Every structure is written in C-alpha cells, then in structure tokens.
Structure 1
Amino acid sequence: MNEVQCEISDGVAVVTLAAPQRRNALTVGMAAELMAAFDEIDARDDVGAAVVRGSGGSFCAGADLGVLADASQDPLDDDAQRDIDALYGSFLRVGRSRAATIAAVRGPAVGAGMNLVMATDLRIVARDARLISGFLRIGVHPGGGHFTLLTRAAGRDAAAAVGLFGQEIDGERAAELGLAWQAVEDADVEAVALQIAGRLGKDPALARRMTASFRREAGPPATSWDVGLEVERGPQMWSFRRRAQARPA
C-alpha cells in the first residue's frame, strides 16, 4: 500500500504518513504499515531518533471513517475489535520504539491522530496546527488511552479541557500548555524536528539507552527520585566505560 514511508539517514528515521487524499486518516492497513516501519527502525542499531510527520499539510485526521462505521455496526464483533486493536497497537508501537520519537505536526491532528502525536516523546508543532480531541463532537467515547496521554503531557486541567470538554487548540496554545515543546512557523516544523533529532542520531547507542531510562522515569507512571537514581545507574556506568575505551591510549 505504501501509505507509510520510512527513510533513514544519519541516524534519524523520518516516518511519513502518506495518504494526503484523506488527510492521512488511519486505516487498519496504514496502522500495520506504521508498526512495520518501527519494527524496521528497531531492528537496526544505527537509528537514534525518529521523526513522525504527515504529508500534504496535515498530520492525521484521525481514524478513517470506514473503520469507525464498521466498528459502530457491532462494536463487540471480533473483526471490529481486531480493527480497533490495530489502530491502538500503532500508537503503542510508536511509544515503545527503541529510538526517541518526535512528532512534526502541521495542520490538523484529530482524535486518533492526536493520540499518535501524544505517543511520541517530543512534539514540534506549527503555530497554526489544529489539535482536536474530536471524540465528543461525533458522539464517541475517547479511546487509545486518550486521557492518559493528555494528562501525562500537560496535566489534569488541560486533559479535561481538550479531551473531556472538546476544546480545540492551536500550536501556540499547545506549547503554552506543555503539549508541545515548541511552536514554529509551518514551513519550519520539519526542519526544527530534524535538527533536534539529529543530536541523538549522532550516537544511536547512547540515544536508545537514554530513551529507555527517560520513559521508565517519566512514565506513566512516573517513578520516585530514588528509583530514578537506580534506573540511571547502569546505563550511566556503561556510558562512562564506553567513553574511557574510546579515548586514545
């Protein structure tokens, strides 16, 4: 289908949702391709970071309407359950990648698309990007761990406003709330994301160990400080030894 493209260069993978004709809305097949792309990334030892982006000026318009329509016919049907699980599995796959992940968000990120944004470790957004929970407006309960993803990024009030009360926010507001690291001009989103990712791409082995420790400590659930000290101890000792071994005799 080739609706997800993966290009790897200089230690950084760029994963592109490539279905602009439907604003990159996720189908079951597309979710499978996304998981396969991250399987490829994780199977390589030369990738320290991955940037997830959408094509055609949109990030992701959510779950494809066909998937939602099929599921609504009989939500407890085995096929419907498998389809929804496939979509949820793609968010989890991104969130569990060995490489650190950055979402480069232009245009709308709606519902499942917003889940995909929040599944990454860091977000760079266009100032005029549109982040929309979208579930309330179509009369559907949020899914995919929506409230958890929002709360861990920006706290309870932001999760309530966006996820529960359906407030739409732009990129500027997302950065103010902590849902994104930085809001920039639309034309600069991907360049900024790649520049940040490139720092980890230079040392994939260290990047992967740091990413694993970061997620264990930051959560959810976040760890206590004393547990964090122990989580970091082993990887830090490894990095000390590697640094010493790299020095000329």
Structure 2
Amino acid sequence: MHEPIVVKQDGHVAVLTLNRPKTRNALSGEEMFAAFEDIFAVLNGTRSVRAAVLTGAGTAFCSGGNIAEMRERKGMFAGSPDEISERYRHGIQRIPRAFASLEVPIVAAVNGPAIGAGCDLACMCDVRIASRSARFAESFVKLGIVPGDGGAWFLPRIVGLSRAAELIFTGATIDADEAFHIGLVSRVVEPEALMDEALSLAHRMAENPPQALRWAKRLLHHGQNATLDEALDLAGRFQGLAHHSGGHAEAVAAHFEKRKPLFRGD
C-alpha cells in the first residue's frame, strides 16, 4: 500500500500530500492517523523546514470519514457508544492533537471537496487557499452524527459562531467563493495556480527566522484561549528569548548592511 501522506521538501517548505485518491483521501485507519503524528514530529525536529503545505492527491482535498465503514460498523465505527468514543479518541482525534503540536506554519491548498472531517482538516491549518473547484461542508448532521474530530471547536474560531452554526446545523455545501466571503479561506485561485500560490505563500513565511516563526505561531494559537495578561506574559517571555537569538542578530545585521539575511536554525 502507498504511504498515506507523501512528503517532499521544496527548499525550506515541506509539501504534504494526502495519498488515498481512491477513497478521496478519507481520514481512516491507523496508518493515516500515525502518519500525521510521525511527520509532524519530524518537521518539529527539523530546522531546515520552516513552513508546510498540505494538499490532496486526485480530485479531492479530503472526503472526511469513510462512510462505507460507518455503514458496515467497521474500524472506528464498531462497537458500543463508549467503544466508539474511545476509538475516536485514539483514532481520528489524534489528528487535531498532532496539529496542535505542529510548530511550523502550515497552509492548506484545498484542491477539491473538503467534506466533513476534510473541512475540519483544512480548518486545522493556519491558512487556507482554495482552488475554484473546492467545496466545503460540515456535513455531519446529514449523516446523523456530529463533528467528532473538533470541527465545532475550529470552525467558530475562523468564521464566527453564527456562520459556524449555520454550516454545522444545516450541513450545507458551499463553494470556494462563499468560503472566501465568510472568511473560511483567505484567497481563491484557478486550479492550475493553486500549488504555485500556496508554495509562494509558504516560501514567504520561510524567508523569516525559523525560531521566531515558531514562537509567533505559538503566540497566535495560545492567544485564542488566553486572557490578555496571559498572552502578554508569554509574548514577553518569547520576546526576551528572541532578542538573544541568532535569527534576530542576523536580521538586524542584514538590515544595516542592506543585504538579504541568511538564517540558520534559530
């Protein structure tokens, strides 16, 4: 069987491609769950990677859960309610937890439908760019289930509570233009331009000092659930460290020497 996620490095950017096109990149199976954990652990430990792009092989970004397994009550959907709850915890819920641990910025290049858990997967990324052929749906209620992988946590933080409620309670599918209108994605491009646009953005991020990028991402995510005082305390702590970092020294030197900075691991 092919690797569930293919990883290639483009300069300081890691390109991650969901590699289950026959199931429209459904999020199922131990191999898929473990792949996110293992790949993100490698990215966290690799200072040569400063940003990442996530996309899908084939015509879909990600179709979400495997509905055939739901019908057959197999895999994650087998057993009693308590057993299913535990399988979620030790299965698909490992993906949002892996994203929470990812230190580098990650851009979702949504190349096609992002449905159910696939929509939530896009929301786990820091930035979303959509192909004009992309579609988004929090479609869980259409199957009589709920966003079990964290969608009800992620989506309101991106589009606001009212918009999120409308999408979650109706299960409606929206196109790329509507996704842009409500702020779910930051830009919409033609299909042939999607990867160039996503890579261009990721490379612009990767031009900056790698450790400062990681601290900035932690501040951004910490701030979503912190008080102002807590956010300021962490910002001050990171700022103290940043002023003593090699990245800061090199950035300041390059500024005064009117040259392009050359950043290393810090």
Unaligned regions of 5+ residues in structure 1, if any?
A: none
Q: Deviations over 1:114-165 (max 9, x none)?
A: 1111111111111231101111111112211211111000001111111112
2:219 to 208, 213, 216: 213
Mapped pair 1:229 → 2:232: yes
2:90 to 85, 88, 107: 85
Mapped pair 1:22 → 2:23: yes
- The answer for the alignment partner of 2:263 in structure 1 is none
- The answer for the alignment partner of 2:52 in structure 1 is 50
Deviation at 1:66, TM superposition (A): 4.6
Highest Rg: 1 or 2? 2
- The answer for the alignment partner of 2:136 in structure 1 is 131
Query: 1:101-116 counterparts in 2 under 5 A?
Result: 101-116=106-121
Q: CA RMSD in A?
A: 2.2
- The answer for the alignment partner of 1:166 in structure 2 is 171
- The answer for the alignment partner of 2:264 in structure 1 is none
Query: 1:160-199 counterparts in 2 under 5 A?
Result: 160-199=165-204
d(CA) in 1 for partners of 2:63, 2:213 = 31
d(CA) in 2 for partners of 1:145, 1:80 = 13
Q: Deviations over 1:89-120 (max 9, x none)?
A: 11221232011111110111111111111111
The question of whether the paired residues in 1 share the 8 Å contact of 2:112 and 2:135 is answered with yes
Deviation at 1:81, TM superposition (A): 2.7
Tell me the TM-score normalised to structure 2 length: 0.84
Counterpart code for 1:74: G
Q: Deviations over 1:208-247 (max 9, x none)?
A: 1111111111x2x2542x4433322232333333366433
Q: Which has the higher contact order (CA 8 A, sep 6+)?
A: 1
Unaligned regions of 5+ residues in structure 2, if any?
A: 258-266
Mapped pair 1:241 → 2:247: no
**1:185/1:230 Cα in 2 relative to 1: closer, same or farther (>3 Å)?**
same
d(CA) in 2 for partners of 1:244, 1:113 = 38
Deviation at 1:85, TM superposition (A): 3.0
- The answer for the alignment partner of 1:100 in structure 2 is 105
Q: 1:6 is paired with a residue of what secondary structure?
A: strand
d(CA) in 2 for partners of 1:126, 1:75 = 40
2:154 to 111, 134, 149: 149
d(CA) in 1 for partners of 2:39, 2:130 = 22
The question of whether the paired residues in 1 share the 8 Å contact of 2:13 and 2:202 is answered with yes
Q: 1:135 is paired with a residue of what secondary structure?
A: helix
Aligned length: 246
Counterpart code for 1:131: F
Deviation at 1:186, TM superposition (A): 1.6
